[in-house]
């Protein structure tokens, strides 16, 4: 299925292909603060439609994940592995997807604080 999503103001927009069966709630310091529900997909399934100079990047700790955000409205629509290669993933914040019934999605609790 093709999903469309964006930040709040729409300056960062994307499409993602896949079957949304489960989301992850991570309790690391950044994910818990932003309240993201993440859906991991192969990076090549994420297609940025609009971003320009509005797509910011924040990394911390072990610098393994680039947390992406809109510089205008501040919303974090996705994150991505910083490494290169075929095993790279994107982590879609399903709260930023159009037409998804969040209450119907199974949520897995991930202990990112201990990772």
Phi, psi of 68 (to 5 degrees): -100, 140
Q: What is the H or E stretch that residue 68 is in? A: strand 65-70
Q: Would you place residue 85 in the very low, low, confident or very high pLDDT band (cuts 50, 70, 90)?
A: low
Extract the tokens encoding 79.
């994150």
**CB 115 within 8 Å of CB 26:** no
- Cβ burial of 110 (10 Å; 0-12, 13-18, 19+) is middle
Reduce the DSSP state of residue 96 to 3 states and report it: helix
Of 4-18, 33-47, 83-97, 99-113, give the lowest mean pLDDT range: 83-97
- Mean pLDDT (the chain) is 92
Domains of the chain: 2-110 (2.170.150.70)
Q: Pairing between strand 22-26 and 78-81? A: unpaired
pTM: 0.91
**CB 72 within 8 Å of CB 9:** yes
Q: Is the pLDDT of residue 15 over 90?
A: yes
């Amino acid at each position: 299925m093709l999903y469309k999503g964006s930040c709040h103001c729409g300056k960062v927009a994307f499409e993602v292909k896949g079957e949304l069966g489960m989301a992850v709630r991570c309790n690391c310091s950044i994910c818990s603060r932003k309240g993201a529900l993440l859906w991991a997909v192969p990076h090549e399934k994420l297609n940025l439609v609009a971003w320009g100079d509005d797509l910011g990047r924040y990394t911390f700790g072990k610098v393994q994940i680039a947390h992406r955000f809109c510089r205008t409205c501040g919303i974090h629509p996705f994150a991505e592995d910083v490494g290169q290669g075929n095993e790279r993933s994107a982590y879609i914040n399903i709260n930023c997807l159009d037409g998804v019934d969040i209450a119907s999605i199974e949520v897995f609790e991930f202990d990112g604080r201990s990772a």
